[in-house]
Amino acid sequence: MSDIEKSHAQNIRRRVLRHILTNGGGYMSQACSSAEILSALYGRILNLGPSEGAPVPPPFPGVPQKGKKTVTGSAYNGEKAPHRDRFIFSPVHYALVLYATLIEFGRMDPKGLELFNVDGSSVEMIGAEHSPGHEVTAGSLAQAISQAMGFALARKLKGDTGRVVVFMSDGEYEEGQTYEALGTAAFHKLGNLLVFVDANGFQCDGIMTGVGCVEPMKARIEAFGCTAEEVDGHDIDAICRAATHTDPDKPHVVICRTDPCHGLDKLRERWPRLHYLRFKTPEERDGYEKICQEWEKA
Amino acid sequence: MSLPVIKRPHYHHLIAWMADKPDHIVMTADLTGSCEADGFRDTYPDRYFSMGMAEQNMISAAGAMAREGFFPYIHTFAVFLTRRVYDQVAMSVAYPNVPVRLMGFLPGITTPGGVTHQAIDDIALMRALPNMTVLTCADATQVEAVMDATEAIEGPVYIRMLRGEVVRIFPEGTAFPLDALPILRKDKGAKILLLTEGICTEYGITATQSASLQDVPLIHANVAAIKPFPEHALHNLLDGITDIVVAENHSVIGGLGSLVCECIASHGLPIRVRRLGLQDVFAHGASRAYLAHELGFDADGIENALCETVSRTACGGLDMRREAVHSDAKAEGL
């Protein structure tokens, strides 16, 4: 077992819950479902150099425009070099979880999270390309996988050996653009594209089966010409084992089946409205406070 | 005076122009021959990418390739580059201000393909996007010059392209007028200014040569740079002008006519602006000549508008060059 990554995953949940308690709301279920995936990625799967981002992100320098050089949050994922992987983060409402992950893996100072959703900061609630750990503006969902496909094609043309690794949510498999990207990536034989899906079965309106249809996800992805593997998304070793291309000419997708309340049973009280945690009563808040304090003692 | 007509100017120019630009690539979505990029495909297969009939993905992928140092020239119909993928253009290309070149073919009513194929709102949509440059070609010379002009533009560019049999108005080799309004006629003492974009420029030339307007002092200028718009060049023409007639192959909402009104109003100038174009209606499947006449922005329509401006009475009945629907200069009848 990967005890180090497991403790990282628990720490990500703890940091997110503490943040939510301090700020009165946040994306908790996403931390519960994806903490092991992001720990596996940053701990073992991604080949990244040390962070080149400022430990505490400086104020947002402004939107891209003529004559203004802009930088993306990819600096927190290290140098861009031919042999390094590139990490593309797609469901950017998970930004809080990514920031907690960057802190957990020494890529951002904990003080950086104090800038979350603060006016004038780049540590935005819904991450954009200037936000730490982000490289593209992905909030209009399913555009990131297409952009990753473009990066993968560009890197293939340049002869880079590093991969383009995407983190997605399962809701994005309702968007037609996702399938355009998978089909086109397969057509161009982009074996340097690796995708992880946090398949937690939930989206903004609730349980995905009540909103739309994405299953059978593995068969769909394979039908579009990619390889796919399904794993327990809370089993870090299993995630890492699945993170290898089985065909060098095909994009590979790892479907991580996850539980949006993993590690935080109290969250099940809100079932099936899990998208955003905002405390309804002082008693509910106290309950979460108690759990967080226990986690912080551990 | 009849103007020379050039067959497939972009087809030939694209191949020649791309020869020494290894980081310039072409992407298409199943309309390669229809956008005169088939010669490029066959000449430079390593720099040509078929992205499938999947425009959303193509736009986002092009944005990423531009971030990686490539210059993607996306060739497809203007409708599919603007309306169909507006969010992808906004978020994957315009926001990061990356050098993706959107080559929009079949602007306005240049196709008999009907409402699905006619981009009547593309200028309005693209103008509204921050960081986006918007250019529109009036003739074969501008078609051949426009890619050179994009080289100095750091961000994305949307271009209304012409294909097939394209008239040549400006001398071959003339640079694309990014910062000017090329003058087609300028009479002393003119009170009326005619501004035309795209195919309306040829219509405007025919209209202003008509018998009814020969002795009326006029200025006729072409607008090729929609955004940024060379506002100073407009101001240089306004001395003594009381009326502007704008003719565009586009909806009168959000296009060149709107743009001119914004300029005039923001300077508080006492000038009437009459906008010819699609008057907030969709078009339908028919020939260019038929539609431009029906919609009132062909040579007759422009002549009428100018005559009404002079004397408040209409005239009309001009001969216009008609483009064949089926021609060996086009991949299909569209």
Indicate the burial class of B46 (C-beta count within 10 angstroms; 0-12, 13-18, 19 or more). Answer: exposed
CB contact under 8 A, A184 and B56: no
A63 neighbourhood in chain B, CB within 8 Å? 95, 130
Q: Is the pLDDT of residue A1 over 60?
A: no
Asked if residue A52 is part of any domain, the answer here is yes
Pairing of strands B183-186, B218-222: antiparallel
Amino acid, single-letter form, for residue B271:
I
The rounded distance, in Å, linking the Cα atoms of B222 and B202 is 10
The rounded distance, in Å, linking the Cα atoms of A127 and A144 is 12
pLDDT bin (cut points 50, 70, 90) of residue B323 is confident
Asked if residue A168 is part of any domain, the answer here is yes
Residue of B91, B154, B155 with shortest CB distance to A143: B91
B131 neighbourhood in chain A, CB within 8 Å? 64-66
The rounded distance, in Å, linking the Cα atoms of A106 and B312 is 76
Asked if residue A112 is part of any domain, the answer here is yes
Q: Which residue has the tokens 């720099």?
A: B47
DSSP letters along A3-70, please? HHHHHHHHHHHHHHHHHHHHHT-B-HHHHHHHHHHHHHIIIII---PPP-S-SSPPBP----BTTB--
Question: HSE of B130 in the Cβ direction (CA atoms, 13 Å)?
Answer: 8
Q: B178 in contact with A at a CB cutoff of 8 Å?
A: no
SS3 of B64, please?
A: helix
Domain B183-311 class in CATH: alpha beta
Q: Is the pLDDT of residue B87 over 70?
A: yes
For position A122, which CATH number holds?
3.40.50.970
Q: B154 in contact with A at a CB cutoff of 8 Å?
A: yes
Q: Which residue has the tokens 């939107």?
A: A63
pLDDT bin (cut points 50, 70, 90) of residue B316 is low
Q: What is the ipTM of this complex?
A: 0.92
Are the C-beta atoms of A193 and A252 separated by less than 8 Å?
Answer: yes
* pTM, two decimal places: 0.94
pLDDT of residue B314: 65
The rounded distance, in Å, linking the Cα atoms of A236 and A242 is 10
Indicate the burial class of A140 (C-beta count within 10 angstroms; 0-12, 13-18, 19 or more). Answer: middle
Chain pair A-B, CB pairs under 8 angstroms: 104
The rounded distance, in Å, linking the Cα atoms of B319 and B316 is 10
- Average of pLDDT values for A15-44? 97
Asked if residue A67 is part of any domain, the answer here is no
Tokens of A12: 């990500």
DSSP letters along A196-254, please? EEEE-SEETTEEGGGT----SHHHHHHHTT-EEEEEETT-HHHHHHH-S-SSTTS-EEE
- From residue A135, alpha-carbon distances to A16, A67, A92, A168, B59 in Å are 22, 20, 11, 14, 17
Return the number of other C-beta atoms located less than 10 Å from residue A205's C-beta.
13
Q: Is the pLDDT of residue B305 over 70?
A: yes
**DSSP label at residue B227:** E
Q: Is the pLDDT of residue A58 over 90?
A: yes
Asked if residue A269 is part of any domain, the answer here is yes
Amino acid, single-letter form, for residue A281:
T
**CA–CA min distance B104, chain A (Å):** 21
Searching chain A, which residue's CA lies closest to the CA of residue B84? A177
pLDDT bin (cut points 50, 70, 90) of residue A116 is very high
Strand segments, DSSP code E, in B106-224 are 133-136, 157-160, 165-167, 183-186, 192-196, 218-222
Average pLDDT, chain B: 95
Tens digits of per-residue pLDDT, B226-250? 999 999 999 999 999 999 999 999 9
pLDDT bin (cut points 50, 70, 90) of residue B313 is low
**CA–CA min distance A143, chain B (Å):** 6
Residue of B50, B61, B91 with shortest CB distance to A149: B61
Tens digits of per-residue pLDDT, A164-198? 999 999 999 999 999 999 999 999 999 999 999 99
**Inter-helix orientation angle B55-67/A143-158, to 10°:** 50
Q: Domain residues for A29?
A: 3-57+72-297
Please list the residue range(s) of chain B that carry CATH number 3.40.50.970: 5-167
Are the C-beta atoms of A145 and A195 separated by less than 8 Å?
Answer: yes
Please list the residue range(s) of chain B that carry CATH number 3.40.50.920: 183-311
pLDDT of residue B319: 79
Tens digits of per-residue pLDDT, B92-137? 999 999 999 999 999 999 999 999 999 999 999 999 999 999 999 9
**What's the domain count of chain A?**
1
Residue of A150, A157, A176 with shortest CB distance to B60: A150
Residues of chain A above pLDDT 90, percent? 96
Angle at B122 between CA B119 and CA B123, to 5 degrees: 130
Searching chain B, which residue's CA lies closest to the CA of residue A147? B61
* Torsion-angle region of A189 (φ positive above 0: left; ψ -120 to 50: alpha; else: beta): left
- The count of residues in chain A is 298
pLDDT bin (cut points 50, 70, 90) of residue B322 is confident
* Torsion-angle region of B216 (φ positive above 0: left; ψ -120 to 50: alpha; else: beta): beta
Binding-face residues of B in 86-145 toward A, CB within 8 A: 87-88, 91-92, 95-97, 130-131
Domain B5-167 class in CATH: alpha beta
The rounded distance, in Å, linking the Cα atoms of A112 and A94 is 16
